[in-house]
A = this chain, B = another copy of it.
């Protein structure tokens, strides 16, 4: 039966990954557990819920006296490992359902379950796969996942959609009031697009911090594999809506503005915008051809009103007064990396786009709000 020695910090690193998949609110007690298994001189830890399964491995850094496995209470096991003093940890399975964890002068005895009870994870046939740098994957998630829908009315909008666009990866998220689209510059060959719940995707950046990962597409799952960690994510079954026709080619008013100072201005305007968070952006051209007022303000409330003159780098086109949810614009600007953004308006009631001046690979789109 399982009997190994491993350094506390190495064990903690592996356990802290697998435990992220464990959801304590489950009606299946076995899924509150973590599978701990030693085979072929490798320690494998698996945590799962219905949407995500995380497997982390420790290969060379363990001393194996005997192979075997058990399912342990996941949250407690993770807390115990984290609390142990630095140094060697001795893990021993006593019978099929008892495990002892010893380090220093501490001795924990946990009641587990048989490893045979842990549900098998079916990987299916991974048909297509592509490689992506861990940092680029994390960035693609960060730049899209915030824009998914928080409502359960259309579940597929709670996911990020991944498409093959002329052999290039494109990631899209929308809640139908705003949309984020990122093309991270990754070659792909898969056929059907797929959608992954944003909630599961948000764990990915902390699981893969460096190096290249392989993303494989099976029938109902995506498998993301790095050096010591494998994650399986459920894909959503509903079809993702076609959003290509939503993205306009605006050019009636084009504004170039410093990204961080615009965020600061929006955050000031937000203070008095109250619950609806609606702020109005005004470009007016009283002297024909010279844009003399570029302002942010909100409807006056009981508390008061603020007006801020904006400093922009360049304006072309027509006068406009357009109102929007200030939080959507702030979040979109925060998902962009560059110093300057280009905002392209197509009229007071048309969706407008925000792009990084220096790259055409990312687009943020926001629907305005009608205020009259």
Contact = CB atoms under 8 A, between A and B. Distances in A.
Nearest to A304: B110
A268 B106 contact: yes
Interface stretch (A43-51, A56-64, A308-316, A357-365): A308-316
Interface string A49-73: 0000000000000000000000001
Interface in A287-307: 302-307
A89 to B, nearest CB: 13
B306 A108 contact: yes
Nearest to A267: B83
Contacts of A85: 264
A189 interface: no
Interface in A64-91: 73, 76, 79-80, 83-85
- Can you tell how many copies of this chain the complex includes? 2
B76 A304 contact: yes
B83 A310 contact: no
Interface residues of A, number: 30
Given A105-B311, A310-B105, A311-B105, A268 B80 contact: yes
Interface of A: 73, 76, 79-80, 83-85, 105-111, 264-265, 267-268, 271-272, 302-311
19 contacts: A73-B303, A76-B272, A76-B304, A80-B271, A83-B264, A83-B271, A105-B311, A106-B268, A106-B307, A106-B308, A107-B307, A107-B308, A108-B271, A109-B304, A109-B305, A109-B306, A110-B303, A110-B304, A111-B302
